[in-house]
Chains A and B, each alone.
Chain A
């Protein structure tokens, strides 16, 4: 089975949902005309990233009567979509969220579980922490969503893997940093390295869609990637500029790789649990 995946590394207008929605619709049309089955947008693709005090005014609920999501849900009849947005729950907590839309329905919403609040990042000041990491079924098999810092930690991809995800979809708004004598920024090299590592270690497809454009002095570097279950790069978008990157995923590769390399079969989850219980009981972990 083949999955025609498209990654939309777009620049956004900071706090202008209406204008960003228009861009989404435009990219959806382009992906559709290229026969994409699934189109992924970056983290906070509807709002922009350094939102600070804008957060509350750009929040949306992924429902049919929402003025923004009604258009996206309608579009999801043609192809599946992953959308980045600010989700506001019934009790007015604001989350950095990704929604998987398909056939006019919201299949899954992921709330970012790791909010970087250090260095140039200040997410914990403005957003609530997500508290679940779940894989979910789609028409292409089981999928998991993570957002940026979520996959800087090893445990969320690991949990998605155990929960059945064969395709991990990562979205980012990753500011470029760490310029040295190399051709790639430190931040890009790090993210590419771990994406390849997750694909290899979990013998799964790993797709990453990072936004582009500036917000004040921050440049988001783009460079969308797709790695296959062998850890081989299937597709890569350009750095620093908007692009729609297509990748044909041969889902049968999962079987071939795992027949050769049964890391999933041999994963000793009971051992992991036993040792985790012990470590947590001794209070050696954070929380």
Chain B
């Protein structure tokens, strides 16, 4: 077993510093977070509160009619604990007319539409609350590409994108996120009974361990097999990471001129600040 334990004091200090610095340098003092009731958004939210103060973080709950009541309740639990302003904006009436346009719409398409509708709501609330949208994708799901592009993956800054799922759990415990949120099965809650691990076909623990060796430690396929991983599983993960690279990038621009955005027009976001 690979030890993914992190020093949570150091992580907390760096991540809250990051949120404070990157929000204020963009000219803001507030943040908006879509609170799903799950662990990732709970952690991002708690970090943002640490960084910006409780009055400066707006939690937005965006249920669909089939969303699990637990999701709403767990989000509520955190909102109460952190004493932060919140809004509940149901997306049912926004997405159902769209679903009705095509009787053949699949569950996957519906899931994507809901994820993108939530993005629309969040970015609208960003303008209302004058706060930046804080990302809630962890390293495991980013590497697996387990997200809806421009949907749940959309944000202004992401404090938890370099933490594997196990590390998200560890830091969440250190930050006193309610245990019920930490311990429940991760789910996008896009349809009844959906769980991440059921859909992916493997556990986050397996994925964390293997991704750490492949990505952080640069192990080859054979070295992963020698370390005890099933060859088919390793291949599956390697292919998945490769296949979903597009989700981790901005769209490539076809180069014509001598200076092209994305290739040789290179500036950080913090340029001039």
Contacts and interface: CB of A to CB of B under 8 A. Distances in A.
A240 B13 contact: yes
Interface string B234-269: 000000000000000000000000000000111111
Interface in B205-252: none
A10 to B, nearest CB: 14
A13 interface: yes
Contact of B18 (A183, A185, A219): A219
Contact of B268 (A52, A182, A183): A52
Interface stretch (B4-12, B81-89, B111-119, B122-130): B4-12
B270 A216 contact: yes
Nearest to B266: A52
A176 interface: yes
Contacts of B264: 53
Nearest to A184: B10
A217 B139 CA distance: 14
Contacts of A52: 266-268
Given A179-B11, A180-B6, A181-B3, A50 B268 contact: yes
Interface string B1-34: 0010111011101100110011000000000000
B contact face: mostly helix, strand, loop, or mixed: loop
Given A53-B267, A240-B13, A15 B272 contact: yes
Interface in A165-199: 176, 179-185
B272 A179 contact: no
A280 interface: no
A176 B14 CA distance: 9
A54 B7 CA distance: 35
Contacts of B270: 14, 214-216
Contact of B6 (A16, A54, A179): A179
B17 A180 contact: no
Nearest to A13: B273
A14 B162 CA distance: 23
A182 B11 CA distance: 11
Contacts of B10: 179, 183-185
Interface residues of A, number: 23
Q: How large is the interface on B (under 10, 10 to 19, 20 to 34, 35 or more residues)?
A: 20 to 34
A26 B21 CA distance: 21
Nearest to A176: B14
A82 B266 CA distance: 29
A135 B18 CA distance: 38
Nearest to A177: B162
A213 interface: yes
30 contacts: A14-B270, A14-B273, A15-B272, A16-B272, A16-B273, A52-B267, A52-B268, A53-B265, A53-B266, A54-B271, A179-B6, A179-B10, A180-B3, A180-B5, A180-B6, A180-B7, A181-B7, A182-B7, A183-B9, A183-B10, A185-B10, A214-B17, A214-B21, A214-B22, A214-B270, A215-B270, A216-B268, A216-B270, A219-B18, A240-B13
Given A15-B272, A50-B268, 13 more contacts: A14-B272, A16-B273, A52-B266, A53-B266, A176-B14, A180-B5, A180-B7, A182-B7, A213-B21, A214-B17, A217-B162, A219-B14, A219-B17
**A-B interface, 7 closest residue pairs, ranked by CB to CB distance from nearest:** A52-B266, A214-B21, A181-B5, A53-B266, A216-B268, A14-B270, A50-B268
